[in-house]
Amino acid sequence: MKVAVVGATGMVGNVMLKVLEERNFPVSELLVVASQKSVGKELTFKGKSYKVIGMQDAVNQKPDIALFSAGGSTSKDWAPKFAEAGTFVIDNSSQWRMDDHIKLVVPEINAKKLTKSDKIIANPNCSTIQLVAVLAPLHSRYKIKRLVVSTYQSVTGTGVKAVRQMENERNGIKGEMAYPYPIDKNCFPHGGTFAEDGYTTEEIKLVNETRKILGDNSIRVTATVARIPVVGGHSEAVNIEFENDFDLNEVRTILTDTTGVVVLDDVTKNIYPMPLYSEGKDEVFVGRIRRDLSNEKSLNLWVVSDNLRKGAATNAVQIAEYLVNNKLV
């Protein structure tokens, strides 16, 4: 399998290479691809050094699969060119997610909808992936009416520049700012850019992508995104109102039996999900499972996952694995 990783020098691109190696994906030929300024740099995969090549060079080599993590504008320009060359593009940007003709995929939920004609496949936003992983089985059983989601997002979701800002602040070093304010010892309700209605692009993604993946536009969703000074993953406080009542023990059983989800929920022993625990892991962790005492048929959850792995790189590789295992590529 000839595989290209586009945006290989970035934070998610690096993790994509790591996940491909860890999961022993059948790579017979690897292309590491980045912008022109990175061409010629060297990256390591399975102990071998690879030189970074440019976009057109990669298109010309017609890879079977291209994992994209190079930003929306790059994806808009180049994903169709790869697709025209016969490549399956799995794109981590927001460019194609809400396109009616492009499938937005979390493999455990809706990979079965993929066909050989789906040359561009959208990887959802990191916050959405971990959210819907938990919601999908509950929606199937009880039907979700309304969601209220508050996220506490890692600086790694912004990228290397943000991680460096936090590290500089912790070490008393003045440096380049990824955010409008200090992030260390701070928390601000700002992820993405603000729209005219006062919501941020990160919040809007959570609303729209959740509905699309669950295939139900009747679900009412509202979200608040906050950035916090951690690196291990995103956390979410989720309030779910169902059409039908539920049993807490059944909820725990459903989630325990859900592929890719791990229940950590024993408050008597202070066991609950944390970014400190999720870092470097591929599962979505859920805990603090409790009935909302203020509203009937409503449930509170706490959901945590490593946003660079299941929230980005691992989900993309799992899509690629589905394509290979089901002989779509």
Instruction: Name the residues annotated as catalytic.
Output: 126, 234
d(CA 248, CA 300): 11
* DSSP 3-state of 256: helix
Give the residues across from 109 on adjacent strands. none
Give me 147's structure tokens: 């969601």
Give me 273's structure tokens: 């999900």
d(CA 114, CA 264): 32
- Are 109 and 213 in contact by the 8 Å Cβ rule? The answer is yes
Give the residues across from 224 on adjacent strands. 150
| Neighbour count for residue 234 (Cβ, 10 Å) | 30
- Are 210 and 131 in contact by the 8 Å Cβ rule? The answer is yes
The secondary element (H helix, E strand) that includes residue 241 is strand 234-242
